[in-house]
Amino acid sequence: MTMVEDGMKQTDQTLLEQLRITEFEIDQRKQLFALATRDELLLRAAGVLIEAQLDELVERFYELQTSTPEIALLIGDADTLQRLRSAQRRYVIDLFSGVYDLEYVNNRLRIGLVHKRIGVEPKLYLAAIHTLRSLLSVQLSKLIPDDDVRVQTLLSMDKLVMFDIALVFETYIRSLVAEIETSRNKSEQYAQVLEEKVVIRTRQLEELSRTDPLTSLLNRRYLDETLTRVLRSAQRRHEKVTMVYLDVDDFKAINDTEGHQHGDEILRVLGETINRISRVEDGCFRYGGDEFCIVLPNCSRRLAEENFVQRLRAELDISLPGVKLSVGCVETGPDDFVSPEALVGMADQHMYTVKQQHRLESETEKFGK
C-alpha cells in the first residue's frame, strides 16, 4: 500500500531538504544493494510487460489491501481510494523505469514522509510492499518465459524494493527524530518560560514581603538590613548618613473625626510623595502606623532638613493641605558611626521632641485665643 498525497506540507519539505541525498550517495547506496546497470536494464524491459497488466495488478492489490480492516480504515472513502490507485500506478511505473536517479530517490523519500504523516505504521507498509512484490513476482513469472532472465529480473526487482524500503524507513526515522527534537525543544522552551515565571513570581513575592501594601514603601522588617548595608558602605567611603524620622501630627484625631479611610488616603499620598522626591539611593520606609523613616546616604543632617524636609512640606501643602508633620533628623559618620538600632532610636527621639514642641505651640495658640 502506497499512500501518496498531493501537496506536501511545509514541514515535509523542510525534512526533505535535511534528507537531501547527492548523486554520489545514490551510487553508494546502489553499491550496497548490488544494484547494477544490468539490473536497471532488466527492470526496464520487464516494465514493458508489466504496463499492459498494470490496471489489473493495481486493482488486485487494493482488493487485498482493503480486505484488512485496519488498512481499509486508513484508506477511508472511495475518492481517496481512487487517488491511491493512481499513485500506485505511478509507483509501479517508476519501479520499472530503469532510471533510479535523484528524482526517483526524492519521490521515495516523499512516500516515506506521507506514510509517516498519515499514520501508516511500518508493519502495514512492509505488509503492503510484500503484497505488491508477490503480485509482481507472479505476473513476471507468467510474462517472462526464459528461466534465467526471469530469475535475474526477480532478483533485480528484490534489490530495488530493498533500495526503496531503506529510503522510506530513513524518512520514518528522521521524521521521528525530528518529532522528538521538536518535543524536546518545546519542553525546554516550556521549562524556560516556567522558570522565568517562577523567578518573576519569586521576585514579586519578595517585593510583597518587604513592601508596605498601602504606601508601596519598604516595610519595617527591611529597615535594619538596609541601614546595616548603608552604614557599612558609608564607613568604607568615609561619608555621612542621615536618618529622617517623621509622623503625622494628630493622626488619631484625623481617624476619629474623618474616618480611617481618609486616614489611609493621607498615608498613601504621603508615601507616594516621599518616594517621588527621594533619590534612587535613598531608602524609604513605613515604620508603622503614621510613622516613616527615610535613610539618606552621603547626606548631612543640614542638607536633609534644608532640601528633603522642606521639599516634602512644600509638596504636602499642595497635595495634603492642613496635614502637618513632626520630623526628626539625625546624622552619623563620617568618623564615628552608631549602630542601626541607635540611629533609629536617636531619630525617633528627635521626632518626639519636635512633636512635643508642636503640641505645646498648639496649646499656647489655643490658650492665647
Residue showing cell 508596605: 212
Cell of 114: 506521507
CA–CA distance from 24 to each of 102, 106, 161 (Å)? Answer: 10, 14, 20
- In this predicted structure, what is the pLDDT of residue 116? 66
Report the C-alpha gap between 223 and 332 in whole angstroms: 16
Rounded to whole angstroms, the Cα distance separating 6 from 318 reads: 75
Q: Tell me: the pLDDT tens digits for 300-333?
A: 999 999 999 999 999 999 999 999 999 999 999 9
Q: Of 44, 46, 60, 59, which is closest to residue 142 (Cα–Cα)?
A: 46
- Residue 296, SS3? strand
Q: Return d(Cα 109, Cα 305) in angstroms, integer.
A: 82
Q: Confidence class of residue 16 from pLDDT cuts 50, 70 and 90?
A: low
| pLDDT digit string, tens, across residues 188-221 | 888 888 888 888 887 766 666 788 989 999 998 8
Least confident of 3-17, 37-51, 163-177, 265-279: 3-17
- Measured from the Cβ of residue 126, the count of other Cβ atoms closer than 10 Å reads 13
For residue 100, what pLDDT band results from cuts at 50, 70 and 90? very high
Contact 297, 240 (CB under 8 A): no
User: What does the pLDDT look like over 337-350, one tens digit per residue?
Assistant: 999 999 999 999 99
Tell me the three state secondary structure of residue 330. strand
Three-state DSSP at 331 gives strand
Q: Is 198 exposed, middle or buried (0-12, 13-18, 19+ CB in 10 A)?
A: exposed
- The radius of gyration of the chain from alpha carbons, rounded to an integer in Å, stands at 44
* 148 or 67, which is more confident: 148
Q: Count CA within 13 A, CB hemisphere, residue 300.
A: 4
Residue 145 reports pLDDT greater than 80:
yes
- Do residues 92 and 58 make contact, with C-beta atoms less than 8 angstroms apart? yes
Least Cα distance to 352 among 267, 309, 291, 269 occurs for 291
- The Cα-based distances of 5 to 184, 185, 227 in angstroms read 28, 29, 73
Q: What is the pairing mode between strands 241-248 and 283-288? A: unpaired
